[in-house]
């Protein structure tokens, strides 16, 4: 996510790297490169102008804090101003009203509204323990109502049935009555996709908004459309009393123009980001964490939160105990691969680690291999329990059967077995005292509040910024 912008900004800071002091000349050079980086990221011109003026004004005569060199001080300034431009701090949903809290979602056709409704419903159910009812007021798009029904069943939330023969206002009004009767905490309303130039459709959603009077009106916008996304959001904001934005498809957005523009142009906060196709791929929007990732500093907080939510801790503890005894089999390897996939794959994890923004994408692709991990899981699943515990049994004919069963070939099976052999050897080396020593070292790396102190990690010592 935002790989191009990260790479460009990293290069722009090289203009001042290693300088003993900041001069007007090297500040101007660095700012010129930052401006070029933002233009290439498709950030709106108004936003770039506003941002550059603020950075330039504060960079002249910048006082360098103790422990920082001039280049780090400038990067810190860019980080602070960029964070401020895209929202400053996280703004959560306002649900402080008499239940049910009605949340209405609007947006363009194809922006991902219905999927975002499902993601939001799952988030409210699992993270905030709310009883959720969803309803579709989209009477125009074929199978829109059916799509939401299927998604509601998948995530285990209640669905209010509606018909294309009913008026949107009546649908939502009836759904609200049912939500009150059945003591739902939240009612999520999906609306028809529309173009902001379509006066009839805009008039309809305005009437719906006034009648329903939702506590939150969220606009869903496709981040892949760049600065156009921000201007579309502005058009809707002028028509509707929006309370927030949901950015979708950010996992496919290498530029980042929408994320950096929408708050400044609309004045409305980004509240959530869609980071994948699955119903659990929705993250609360933290401007400071996003900026940290864009500048190549990582997002350790989000990484820790994700691990704590998605890792099976009992299974992980069991694996640690096995490894301490020098035991490691293909079942353990499969469990590790599957847990990695649950967290979005190695690519998603690497994006959140400090310093990864500097690694070329070609190198990342070699390391990440999310497709490869899926293939490896399929190969292991194609083995018998006995084969997974006794790898030495897997010879010629067995390899052919495993390859056929997993839809791969013998070369892929051989590759997996070699990788497993290397991992097994490593685990045996860690057996007993060495494993205990490693765990002790990991414990020593814990900073305040249980967070790892990355300054003690190899390659990151005493570096405040990875530039």
Instruction: Quote the CA–CA distance of 114 and 120 in Å, as a whole number.
Output: 10
The answer on pLDDT for 442 being more than 50 is: no
Which pLDDT score is estimated for 461?
41
Nearest to 301 by CA among 450, 121, 132: 450
The set of residues, in sequence order, having a beta carbon less than 8 Å from that of 366 and lying 6+ positions away, is none
Instruction: Quote the CA–CA distance of 214 and 93 in Å, as a whole number.
Output: 12
Which pLDDT score is estimated for 103?
92
Sheet with 270-274: list strands edge to edge.
158-160, 132-136, 186-190, 101-107, 216-222, 244-248, 270-274, 282-284
HEC profile of the chain: CCHHHHHHHHHHHHHCCCCCCCCHHHHHHHHHHHHHHHHHCCCCHHHHHHHHHHHHHHHCCCCCCCCCCHHHHHHHHHHHHHHHHCCCCCCCCCCCCCCCEEEEEEECCCCCHHHHHHHHHHHHHHCCCCCEEEEECCCCCCCHHHHHHHHHHHHCCEEECCCCCCCHHHHHHHHHHHHHHCCCCEEEEECCCCCCCCHHHHHHHHHHHHHHCCCEEEEEEEHHHCHHHHHHHHHHHHHCCCCEEEEECHHHCCCCHHHHHHHHHHCCCEEEEECCCCCCCEEECCHHHHHHHHCCCCCHHHHHHHHHHHCCHHHHHHHHHHHHCCCCCHHHHHHHHHHHHHCCHHHHHHHCCCCHHHCCHHHHHHHHCHHHHHHHHHHHHCCCHHHHHCHHHCCHHHHHHHHHHHCCCHHHHHHHHHHHHHHHHHHHHCCCHHHHHHHHHHHHCECHHHCECHHHCCCCCCCCCCC
The set of residues, in sequence order, having a beta carbon less than 8 Å from that of 390 and lying 6+ positions away, is none
Q: How much is the pTM? A: 0.64
Cβ proximity of 282 and 275 under 8 Å: yes
Which pLDDT score is estimated for 70?
65
The answer on pLDDT for 236 being more than 70 is: yes
Which pLDDT score is estimated for 322?
59
**Domains of the chain with CATH codes:** 3-85 (1.20.120.140), 101-295 (3.40.50.300), 302-456 (1.10.260.30)
Instruction: Quote the CA–CA distance of 311 and 301 in Å, as a whole number.
Output: 15
Which pLDDT score is estimated for 460?
40
More reliable by pLDDT, 441 or 126: 126
Minimum mean pLDDT among 361-375, 379-393, 402-416: which range?
A: 361-375
pLDDT, averaged across the chain: 75
The answer on pLDDT for 104 being more than 50 is: yes
Question: How does pLDDT run across 143-193, given as a tens digit for each residue?
Answer: 888 899 999 999 999 999 888 888 888 888 899 999 999 999 999 998 887
Residue % of the chain over a pLDDT of 70: 68
* 317, burial (CB in 10 Å: exposed 0-12, middle 13-18, buried 19+): exposed
CA end-to-end distance (rounded Å), the chain = 19
User: What are φ and ψ of residue 106, in 5° steps?
Assistant: -125, 165
Instruction: Quote the CA–CA distance of 338 and 335 in Å, as a whole number.
Output: 5
How far lies 61's CA from each of 55, 57, 334, 385, 462, in Å?
Answer: 12, 9, 56, 68, 26
The set of residues, in sequence order, having a beta carbon less than 8 Å from that of 328 and lying 6+ positions away, is 322, 423, 424, 427, 428
Nearest to 298 by CA among 24, 2, 90, 43: 2
Nearest to 117 by CA among 98, 100, 137, 97: 137
Instruction: Quote the CA–CA distance of 108 and 383 in Å, as a whole number.
Output: 47
Cβ proximity of 425 and 323 under 8 Å: no
More reliable by pLDDT, 322 or 384: 384
Instruction: Quote the CA–CA distance of 103 and 117 in Å, as a whole number.
Output: 10
Sign of the C-alpha dihedral, residues 42, 47, 50, 54? negative
- Max avg pLDDT among 130-134, 418-422, 456-460: 130-134
Question: How does pLDDT run across 189-211, given as a tens digit for each residue?
Answer: 988 876 666 677 777 888 888 88
Place of tokens 């709310």: 130
Question: How does pLDDT run across 282-329, given as a tens digit for each residue?
Answer: 888 888 877 777 775 544 445 555 555 555 556 656 655 655 555 677
Cβ proximity of 96 and 104 under 8 Å: no
């Amino acid at each position: 996510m935002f790989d191009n912008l990260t790479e460009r900004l990293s290069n722009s800071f090289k203009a001042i790297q290693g300088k003993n002091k900041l001069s007007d000349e090297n500040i101007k050079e660095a700012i010129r490169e930052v401006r070029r980086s933002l233009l290439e990221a498709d950030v709106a011109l108004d936003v770039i102008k506003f941002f550059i003026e603020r950075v330039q004004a504060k960079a002249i005569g910048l006082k360098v804090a103790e422990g920082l060199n001039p280049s780090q001080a400038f990067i810190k300034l860019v980080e602070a101003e960029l964070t401020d431009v895209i929202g400053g701090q996280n703004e959560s949903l306002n649900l402080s009203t008499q239940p049910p809290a009605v949340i209405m979602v609007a947006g363009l056709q194809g922006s991902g509204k219905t999927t975002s409704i499902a993601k939001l419903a799952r988030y409210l159910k699992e993270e905030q323990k709310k009883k959720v009812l969803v309803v579709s007021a989209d009477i125009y798009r074929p199978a829109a109502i059916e799509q939401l029904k299927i998604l509601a069943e998948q995530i285990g939330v209640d669905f209010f049935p509606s018909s294309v023969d009913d008026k949107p206002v009546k649908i939502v009004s009836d759904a609200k009555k049912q939500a009150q009767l059945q003591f739902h905490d939240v009612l999520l309303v999906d609306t028809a996709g529309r173009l902001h130039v379509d006066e009839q459709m805009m008039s309809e959603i305005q009437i719906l908004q006034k009648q329903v009077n939702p506590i939150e009106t969220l606009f869903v916008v496709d981040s892949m459309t760049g600065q156009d996304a921000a201007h579309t959001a502005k058009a809707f904001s002028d028509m509707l009393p929006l309370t927030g934005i949901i950015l979708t498809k950010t996992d496919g957005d290498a530029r980042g123009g929408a994320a950096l523009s929408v708050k400044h142009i609309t004045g409305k906060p980004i509240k959530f980001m869609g980071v994948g196709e699955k119903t659990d791929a929705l993250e609360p929007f933290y401007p400071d964490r996003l900026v940290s990732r864009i500048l190549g500093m990582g997002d350790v907080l989000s990484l820790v939160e994700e691990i704590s939510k998605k890792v099976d801790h009992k299974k992980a503890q069991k694996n640690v105990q096995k490894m301490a005894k020098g035991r490691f089999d293909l079942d353990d390897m499969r469990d590790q691969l599957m847990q990695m996939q649950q967290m979005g794959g190695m690519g998603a994890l690497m994006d959140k680690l400090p310093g990864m923004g500097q690694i070329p994408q070609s190198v990342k692709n070699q390391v990440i291999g999310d497709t490869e991990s899926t293939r490896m899981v399929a190969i292991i699943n194609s083995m018998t329990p006995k084969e997974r515990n006794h790898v030495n049994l897997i010879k010629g004919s067995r390899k052919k059967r495993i390859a056929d069963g997993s839809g791969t070939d013998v070369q892929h099976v051989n590759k997996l077995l070699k990788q497993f052999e290397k991992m097994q050897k490593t685990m045996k080396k860690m057996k007993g005292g060495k494993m205990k020593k490693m765990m002790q070292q990991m414990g020593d790396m814990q900073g305040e509040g249980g967070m790892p102190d990355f300054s003690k990690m190899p390659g990151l010592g005493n570096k405040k910024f990875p530039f």
